[in-house]
């Protein structure tokens, strides 16, 4: 995330909602273990940065896996991330088994089985877990096998089309009951890779965000116009194509001109790391890790 974003401040109530911790636990951790040191506002209220929220989420997840807060409070964020990477074997094995079943179905051109196992992943896991532990690994491996010439275009399409069907169905289901803030999801002109942004639209909808998924390859002006019409609080854009970064940057600035000042531009995707942060439009939020997105959704909902 950008330096500007890290300076943003949030109330203890907003942080509690974004991290899953209670207000009482937050106060106790600060008092006993000094896990973070929030600043104080004019009225003496605690104020937290986005980096504070990120650290608290890591601490919460680590304690949920059996680690004592007293033993991990002093750890750096990197050390906490290493602990979190050590998932219980049974969880990893279950996800890996689903990945292997989907890849086997793709290899044998079994479209119905591919659909069935992807559906099972979403039934057994939260949308965030299913995307991160099953869907993303499958699509990444399918893409690599296609590039190596080990599978055909038809087989790659079986995997991607199954993923798209599952995500669109879930997106519609979650959106039908979502009452939260509106966020627009799209890719800009020339960017035709849509599964990444569709995954995150689905995750957002599962978190009660009203996710307006516009699809791939849209002019910046159209995306901005939609955001204005629906009073969106953010626009999420995926950057995958490494070959058109200069044009993409120009479109991001064009998009910024179409948005109200308070609307954020959420940026993700593998090509994002190649863009100099200082060249991005104001109120751009870089999401380099999957947890950054879930955290931002929580803060957006809490700040309403």
Question: Got the DSSP string for 62-117?
Answer: HHHTT--HHHHTT--HHHHHHHHTS--HHHHHHHHHHHHHHHHHHHTT-HHHHHHH
Q: Which residue has the higher pLDDT, 28 or 54?
A: 28
Q: What's the mean per-residue pLDDT of the chain?
A: 89
pLDDT of 278 reads 92
Min mean pLDDT across 26-30, 81-85, 116-120, 252-256 is at 81-85
Q: What stretches of 5-48 adopt beta strand conformation (E)? A: 39-40, 46-47
pLDDT of 185 reads 98
| CATH-assigned architecture of domain 3-84 | Orthogonal Bundle (1.10)
**Percent of all residues in the chain with a pLDDT value above 90, rounded to a whole number:** 59
- Taken in order 299, 216, 115, 118, the sign of the CA dihedral is negative
Does domain 89-172 match CATH 1.10.1240.10?
yes
pTM (2 d.p.):
0.73
Does domain 177-302 match CATH 3.40.50.280?
yes
Q: How far apart are CA 238 and CA 190, in angstroms?
A: 12
Average pLDDT over residues 41-54: 84
**Percent of all residues in the chain with a pLDDT value above 70, rounded to a whole number:** 93
Min mean pLDDT across 1-15, 132-146, 277-291 is at 1-15
Angle at CA 130, nearest 5°, toward 60 and 125?
70
Q: Are 239 and 194 in contact (CB under 8 A)?
A: no
Average pLDDT over residues 96-107: 93
Average pLDDT over residues 174-180: 93
**Domain locations in the chain?**
3-84, 89-172, 177-302
pLDDT of 161 reads 97
Identical fold for domains 89-172 and 177-302, yes or no, is no
């Amino acid at each position: 995330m950008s330096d500007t974003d890290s300076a943003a401040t949030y109330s203890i109530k907003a942080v509690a909602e974004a991290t899953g911790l209670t207000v009482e636990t937050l106060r106790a951790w600060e008092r006993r273990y000094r896990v973070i040191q929030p600043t104080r506002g004019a009225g003496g209220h605690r104020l937290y940065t986005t980096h504070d929220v990120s650290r608290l989420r890591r601490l919460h997840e680590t304690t949920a896996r059996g680690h004592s807060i007293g033993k991990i409070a002093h750890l750096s964020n990197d050390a906490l991330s290493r602990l979190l990477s050590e998932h219980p074997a049974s969880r990893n094995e279950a996800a890996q088994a689903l990945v292997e079943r989907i890849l086997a179905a793709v290899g044998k051109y079994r479209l119905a089985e591919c659909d069935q196992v992807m559906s099972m992943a979403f039934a057994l896991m939260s949308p965030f877990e299913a995307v991160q532990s099953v869907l993303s690994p499958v699509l990444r491996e399918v893409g690599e096998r296609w590039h190596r010439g080990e599978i055909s275009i038809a087989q790659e399409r079986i995997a991607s089309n199954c993923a798209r069907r599952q995500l669109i169905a879930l997106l519609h289901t979650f959106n039908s009951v979502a009452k939260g803030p509106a966020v627009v999801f799209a890719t800009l002109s020339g960017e035709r890779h849509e599964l990444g942004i569709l995954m995150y639209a689905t995750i957002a909808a599962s978190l009660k965000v009203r996710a307006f998924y516009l699809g791939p390859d849209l002019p910046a002006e159209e995306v901005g116009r939609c955001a204005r019409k629906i009073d969106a609080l953010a626009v999420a854009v995926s950057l995958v194509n490494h070959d058109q970064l200069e044009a993409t940057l120009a479109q991001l600035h064009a998009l910024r001109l179409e948005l109200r000042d308070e609307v954020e531009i959420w940026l993700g995707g593998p090509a994002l790391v190649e863009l100099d942060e200082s060249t991005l439009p104001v109120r751009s939020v870089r999401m380099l890790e999957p947890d950054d997105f879930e955290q931002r959704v929580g803060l957006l909902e809490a700040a309403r």
